[in-house]
Amino acid sequence: MKVHELGHLVLYVRDLERSRRFYRDVLGFAELPSGPVPFPAAAFSSGRTHHELLLIEVGADAAPIPPGRRVGLYHVGLKVGTTDDELRDALATLRANDVTIVGASDHGVTHSLYIEDPDGNELELYIDVQPEIWREDPTAVLAPIRPLHL
């Protein structure tokens, strides 16, 4: 067996409408039309595949993500472009929408902003630094992390 690509992400969310607005209106995912479903859910795609993100509402009383070091998902990376100008535009959108920004890093191969969605899931919004040096030097992916100065 060989995995060919990461296909999609499914997130449980407390409030579907709040998360729908965040992923659609702030991050710019295209929401897919849906018919009747047996549970509150919304699907999104950037156009790469049938769906890349599915949100399923679990309600306000769902247990929160535990803080601190833990086993499990750390963050999801979402490519927002190929230039620092595009990342600056993303930062302006985040600030205009009062999105929690938890970090900014220069990884050598990417420039990244780290944010939290409405339920506290961490997302990395990044651009590939051009030219894409990781294609010719895969070891560049593990270069020392530096502060990002946009």
- What pLDDT does 131 receive? 84
Distance (Å, rounded) from C-alpha 54 to C-alpha 12? 9
Over range 34-39, report the average pLDDT.
86
HSE value, Cβ hemisphere, 13 Å, CA-based, for 134: 12
Distance (Å, rounded) from C-alpha 125 to C-alpha 111? 8
With DSSP H G I counted as helix, E B as strand and the rest as coil, what are the percentages for the chain, rounded to 5? 20, 30, 50
- What pLDDT does 132 receive? 86
Q: Residue 34 — pLDDT band, cuts 50, 70, 90? A: confident
The two structure tokens encoding residue 64: 């929160």
pTM of the entire structure? 0.94
The answer, yes or no, to whether residue 37 has pLDDT greater than 90, is no
Roughly how many angstroms between the first and final C-alpha of the chain, as a whole number? 41
- In DSSP terms, which residues pair with 54 in a beta bridge? 10, 43
DSSP secondary structure of 112-137? EEEEE-TTS-EEEEEEEPSS-GGGT-
Per-residue pLDDT of 78-126, as tens digits, reads 999 999 999 999 999 999 999 999 999 999 999 999 999 999 999 999 9
Q: Which domains does the chain have, with CATH numbers?
A: 9-57 (3.10.180.10), 76-147 (3.10.180.10)
